[in-house]
Amino acid sequence: MRPTLVRLHRWFGLVMAGFLVMAGVTGSLLAWNDELEALVSPELFVASPAGPGPALDPLELRQRVQAAFAQAFVPRAPLQIEPGRTLAFRLRALPPPGGGTAPELADDQVFINPWTGRIQGQRKWGDIGQGTKNLMPFVLRLHDSLALDIVGSYLLGVVALLWTLDCFVGAWLTLPARASRNGGPSWLRRWRPAWGLRWRAGAHKLNFDLHRAGGLWPWAMLFVLAWSSVAFNLREVYEPVMRTLFTFQQDDAPRRSGPPLLQPPVNWRQARDIGRARLDQAAQANGFAVLGEYMLIYDPRTGLYGYYARTSRDVSERWGITHVGIDASTGEMTGLRLPTGAASGDTVHTWLTTLHMAAVGGTAMQVFVSLMGLAVAMLSITGVLVWWKKRQAAARRRSTAMATAPNRTAPSSAP
């Protein structure tokens, strides 16, 4: 069995190496995404209050953006205002009045000062052709899909699946061989060298140890990163596996069909009020605390609002995904989704994705995830070097064998 696993580990590693180096390096940067965005593009992200007064209502700010970009639709309103930061609104293109394909927008993200109501800037998210203001979105596109959209996303999903399998293959290969019948050191004592580094044993052995021990020490986090990458990019595999192992809450069912409902009977302010009230009721009934509002989203295709808040059932320290669904035609609550504590599958999924994005544990976790990204790149590079060294050694052995073998084709001497 071991020779088969060695071959699998080798070929998995060679196939994945370039992709994982890219994903590891970009992931180490994305652990600091918010900080780097503000550093690279302060004109978009940094806002100074006009005075000591409170910030404007986020829904009022959404209305101002909608009025300024009447050719588009603003589908979400961030409700969480951070000191010194702008609010970012996304735009969605509207189809022509007579029907047809919606035109592409020149810019699809707008930044507004929540104290003054002034639009500070805009960009087409991820378009590196606009310059450095799209540097971090482009890094995220590389990380998520190689900047190839759906094709790249599926490709990285397959790589993530191979990576998940290889986590177990690689760990198995570090286990010691069976002890001889005459006894000898214990199993754990024989496994101990796999966790260490031979600093003075030469470059090749040190490289091998970096690859082996570097995969063992952070193994649990490597698995989290690998399997959560499958969750992001290959849901066709992730969801059936997870639903076999765990239970999940039901999603809100779409309430309508037909053309998009851009002006629903229940307006944005009413939806926010309904979301607040329903979430407070749910918090009292289910024993959790509401910590703050996060986002209000409206989908004209389904006629559903999504009211999001951060609660004590959330894991992330940056956003809230506790969710109340609201029917935009009747105002009825269509569902409640809690990130943790309601269904085991949702709890596991929330932890996997939150750890992947370094959104819990503060600066210490950001540092750790950033280092993990570099470790992923290091493991890929050292793995290729191990393979190349062994390939060269095998070539030398074949060359030596051919040079020392008797010449069986030499003609015999004449009689």
If phi > 0 it is left, if psi is from -120 to 50 it is alpha, else beta; for residue 202 that is: left
Instruction: Check the CA dihedral 69-298-313-26 and report its sign.
Output: negative
The residue behind tokens 């990458």 is 229
The residue behind tokens 């095998």 is 394
Bridge-based pairing state of the strands 92-93 and 109-112: unpaired
Reading the chain (415 residues) residue by residue, the pLDDT tens digits are: 889 999 999 999 999 999 999 999 999 999 999 999 999 999 999 998 866 678 999 999 999 999 999 999 999 999 999 999 999 999 999 888 777 788 899 999 999 999 999 999 999 999 999 999 999 999 999 999 999 999 999 999 999 999 999 999 999 999 998 766 666 788 899 999 999 999 999 999 999 999 999 999 999 999 999 999 999 999 999 999 999 999 999 887 666 677 889 999 999 999 999 999 999 999 999 999 999 999 999 999 999 999 999 999 999 999 999 999 999 999 999 999 999 999 999 999 999 999 999 999 999 999 999 999 999 999 999 999 999 999 998 888 888 888 887 655 545 444 3
The predicted pLDDT at position 186 comes to 85
Q: What are phi and psi of 311, to 5 degrees?
A: -130, 180
The predicted pLDDT at position 413 comes to 47
User: pTM for this one?
Assistant: 0.92
The predicted pLDDT at position 397 comes to 86
The predicted pLDDT at position 7 comes to 94
CA 334 to chain centroid, in Å, comes to 28
The predicted pLDDT at position 51 comes to 64
DSSP 8-class letter at 359:
-
Bridge-based pairing state of the strands 76-78 and 109-112: unpaired
Instruction: Check the CA dihedral 125-236-323-318 and report its sign.
Output: negative
